């Protein structure tokens, strides 16, 4: 039988993995494909030329497939944690861990992809929005960590008292 501490770590990892993948999916669908403010490799392939645009959209699609796979792995991890246990899991803790995972992706994207590797900017042709992206991502990270703190713990034994069911 897994200990509460082991379940907490596994639950946090599952939620964080779901959040990391889902944060990337949301970024790709909204900013890359719908609004088209940036593409994954627009720092290397001109998004205003037809060949550059097609290359960027192809890599956006490949990135979307990869991040959907990460999200699915997270759901698989979550299923393994909750399946067959006699413990109840905190929804607040799960939401906090998902938000932390999504924020970690956004902070990584904002710092590494926008500044270190210069893969792309938040908006094509300007770095003006990059700091805002990082600041909002750090605020979301703090919110996720706050949810983890206020949660009454990720796991607790189920109440099997028959009077509780009445």
The pTM (predicted TM-score) of the whole model is 0.89
Angle at alpha carbon of residue 108, lines to 102 and 109, rounded to 5°? 90
Reduced to 3 states, what is the DSSP secondary structure of residue 151? coil
CA nearest neighbour of 21 among 98, 95, 90, 96 = 98
Helices and strands in the chain, H and E counts: 4, 2
Lowest mean pLDDT among 25-34, 49-58, 83-92, 124-133: 83-92
Assign 153 a pLDDT band (cuts: 50, 70, 90): confident
Residue 19: HSE in the Cβ half-sphere, 13 Å Cα cutoff: 26
According to the model, what pLDDT value does residue 87 have?
82
Question: What's the confidence (pLDDT) of residue 4?
Answer: 79
Pairwise CA distance, residues 18 & 22, whole Å: 6
When comparing pLDDT for 165 and 73, which is higher?
Answer: 73
Is the per-residue pLDDT at 166 higher than 70? no
Compute the 3-state secondary structure of the chain and give helix, strand, coil in percent, each to the nearest 5.
Answer: 70, 5, 25
């Amino acid at each position: 039988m897994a200990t509460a501490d082991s379940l907490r770590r596994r639950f946090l990892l599952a939620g964080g993995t779901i959040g990391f993948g889902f944060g990337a999916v949301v970024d790709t669908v909204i900013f890359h494909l719908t609004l088209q403010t940036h593409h994954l490799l627009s720092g290397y392939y001109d998004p205003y030329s037809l060949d550059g645009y097609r290359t960027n959209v192809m890599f956006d699609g490949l990135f979307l497939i990869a991040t959907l796979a990460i999200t699915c792995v997270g759901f698989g991890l979550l299923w393994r944690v909750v399946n067959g246990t006699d413990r109840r899991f905190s929804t607040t803790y799960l939401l906090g861990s998902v938000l932390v995972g999504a924020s970690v992706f956004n902070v990584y994207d904002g710092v590494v992809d926008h500044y270190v590797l210069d893969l792309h900017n938040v908006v094509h042709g300007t770095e003006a929005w990059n700091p805002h992206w990082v600041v909002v991502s750090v605020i979301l990270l703090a919110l996720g960590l706050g949810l983890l703190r206020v949660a009454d713990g990720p796991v607790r034994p189920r109440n099997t008292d028959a009077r509780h069911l009445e």
